[in-house]
Amino acid sequence: MGDGNFELACQIADLIMKQIYQPATPTFSNSGKKRSGELVSCFLLETEDSINSINYIISTSMQLSKIGGGVAVNLSKLRGRGASIKKIDSTASGVLPVLKILENVFDYADQLGMRRGSGVAYLNIFHFDLIDFIDCKKINADEKSRIQTLSIGLIIPDKFLQLATENKDFYIFEPNTIYQKYKVCLSDLNMNEWYDKLAEDKDILKKELSSRAVLTRIAQIQFESGYPYVIYIDNANRQHPLNGLGTIKMSNLCTEIFQLQESSTIGDYGDEDQIRYDVSCNLASLNLVNLLEATNLEEIIDISMRALTAVSDLTSIKNAPSIRKANESFRSVGLGMLNFTGFLLKNNLAYDDPEVLEFADSLFSAINYYSILASSKIAKEKNKSFHNFHLSDYANGKYFKQYLENSYLPKSEKVKELLKNVKIPSQEDWANLQKIVEKNGLYNAYRLAIAPTQSISYLQGATASIQPIIAPIETRLYGNSMTYFPMPFLKKENYHLYKSAYQIDQKKLIDLSATIQKHIDQGISTILYVTNNSTTRDLVKLYLYAHHKGLKSLYYVRTKNLQPNECLMCQA
């Protein structure tokens, strides 16, 4: 990970041994091996509506799964079930058969039996096959339509949530009829601008559904299976610093990666392909407890960004040309966080204490600042910025506006004490950083993303990501063995601060993610925790609240079945 730089390699090793910096599983398990997979954590692919493109996506997914990455595929451009093919009506099979193929691909192509393949398929909520797609995760679905091991996620534009809030019916559209008339794809449309036009167009094949009934159906299936993931695509694009270069279409397997994407056009054999941009990301996390015990946050983030950049520079996946092209153009990384709740417990704070929001706001503004500074230093040293940097909000200064207009310096004495080892940048510091970036550019188009970090948190003896604790002693099945993991820093003296994730007001959890999201250029894996006392109405309210607060995504919904008089405090 030192990319030939011995001093940097020693610095990275030192941070790993001190349990400050933790590479993601693919990087950690494959580094330094003669025969190994790649170091990259995740990949995002988008298929066009052709057999050539579907074949390309299936082949590429298999290649990427083989080398150890989680793969996400956007199927929103595929024509719906019953659509015409070559002007023959009712001949298209829709997205479900492709889901089945992808499920088999990831079951088959693992990394030498060391790590099973894993993938997720995404679909726009306005797609003609919406109901088939979400029903594939129903427990009582028949085997022909049930998807068991492949994850699924919905891409939800603002327009749908607006219609649901107004209790209006909505239309789902067959993508090929849109393309045949307007030469644009469903997944490329801004539905806030296009929806009414498509709804009124008699040439567009469509179905009418109840928006609230669909939201309730999604909630019911999430109670059963935890799926689908939810992507608030307009929130993601509103906060996207690279809108001048392209748009975000989807997310990854863990819903924290948000990068521009443009699908490739695959020709027949002998014809030239038009390879565009898909997405890869190299991930690592900082252990918050050990990070704040150190006194050199700026240096740690600089080393961490260089370690991740080295992974990007060392990666060149020949069998996935759209991934390779994007990596060479954008050098995207995702530095995240773990042991957030462990830090709170260590410092006698409950997860939902009001000081936690102030602490997170100040801390992550600093992490954002120092990651930008590090990327700009790398760009200066290499005399190279990411592709089309001049079209980004970093170059025109828009990205820095919130930091020039607002101070994120800690206000309360408690938070000042927690951050005593950290220099929180002032508005003047941000103004100077803007000038540095305008002059030197940035090497990494994307820098920060907070992944779920379950496995690597165990390695660190830490709590996962920024999420609350599920139980005082967590149990997890690995193969034929059960792992027992007592929560770090939880002891008799501070046990009164402990609340299970299922006891915490989920709006407070969303508030924390929303506070941190302001400072994260990509996204956060946000899990919701509900019990059998919760209703579908409760879950739908959380969808709307998360969107309102600016979250880009919701990951799993985890459900706990409570027995009468059951006490979560006493459970392991």
Residues serving a catalytic function are 252, 254, 256
Note the helical H segments in 427-471: 427-440, 454-460
**CB neighbourhood size of 380 (10 A):** 15
Residue with token string 């057999």: 51
Closest CA to 402 of 433, 445, 444: 433
CA distances from 193 to 47, 159, 190 (A): 24, 9, 6
Task: Name the token pair of 147.
Answer: 């998807």
Q: Between vectors from CA 555 to CA 550 and to CA 558, what angle results, nearest 5°? A: 125
Query: Residues 145, 127, 326, 321: is their CA dihedral positive or negative?
Result: positive
Sign of the CA dihedral running 481, 487, 492, 496: negative
Which candidate, 119, 43, 557, places its Cα nearest to that of 283?
43
User: CB-based burial of residue 193 (10 Å sphere; 0-12 exposed, 13-18 middle, 19+ buried)?
Assistant: exposed
Q: Which two tokens stand for residue 198?
A: 């498509």
- Beta bridge mates, 111: 115
Residue 500 and residue 292: Cα distance in Å, rounded? 25
Count of CB atoms within 10 A of residue 281's CB? 30
- Phi, psi of 99, deg, nearest 5: -60, -45
CA distances from 327 to 93, 259, 281, 330, 372 (A): 34, 11, 8, 5, 18
Q: Do the beta carbons of residue 523 and residue 555 sit within 8 Å? A: no
CA distances (Å), origin 268, targets 159, 163, 278? 37, 42, 20
Give the Cα separation of 229 and 218 in Å (integer): 10
Closest by CA to 447, choosing from 381, 373, 371, is 371
Q: Which of 256, 302, 251 is nearest to 521 (CA)?
A: 256
Cβ–Cβ under 8 Å, residues 81 and 172: no
Residue type for position 524: I
